[in-house]
Structure formats: structure tokens, C-alpha cells
Amino acid sequence: MLSWNYYIRRKRLNVKEWLSSRNIRDYDVLCNTLESLGVEAPPLNEVSHYFVPAQKVSIHAPKKPASPAPKRNPAVKSSTKKKSKTVISKAKKKPTVGA
């Protein structure tokens, strides 16, 4: 049997990713998986930080979602008037009378 430390170094494993890819959520499942691979299981204190303790189930009713914040008016109102464009007409040229 291979040791746990040798196995993770040899395979260059990221332990957290390896555990999640194999759906290993507790120490007992880890021990069974490693046994089938021919690897000695590490002590619980070495790998306990990888396992999240089971969350307590709440008996209380779920909290109501918070109401959305009221919409605020903009600080400055935009003008709806369009600026008038002044057209500068070109001065008409006087017709020259040809001689």
C-alpha cells in the first residue's frame, strides 16, 4: 500500500479539487475510496479541514425576503427643450451686369 503523502505528491493532486471531483464529503468515504485505490488513509486530523461539518437544519419558518429599496428621483432634472439652431443664410451675391 502507498502512503497518503506519497500518493498526493506522486499524482500532483490538489486535494480539495480531488475530493470534490470524487464527491467525497466525509472522512469515512475518503477511507473507503483510498482503500479501493490501495492507499493508506491519512489520520483524520490531517484532512479534517477539507470536510465541512454538517449544517444544522432550521425548524423555524424561512425569513421573508427584504423589500426592494424605493426608487430615487434623479438629483438634476434634464431639460426637455431642444436648443434652436440658428441658420445663417449666406448673403446673396449681386448679379453683375456684363458689358
CA atoms of 26 and 31, how far apart (whole Å): 9
State the DSSP string of 19-55. Answer: HHHTT--SHHHHHHHHHHHTBPPPPHHHHGGGSPPPP
Provide long-range contacts, Cβ within 8 A and 24+ apart, for 15-21.
Answer: 15/47, 15/50, 16/50, 19/50
- One digit per residue, the tens of pLDDT, for the chain of length 99 reads 899 999 999 999 999 999 999 999 999 999 999 999 999 999 999 998 888 765 555 566 666 666 777 777 767 666 666 666 665 655 556 666 665
pTM of the model: 0.52
Which residues have a Cβ under 8 Å from the Cβ of 31 and sit 6 or more positions away? 41
Backbone φ, ψ for residue 56 (5° rounding): -75, 140
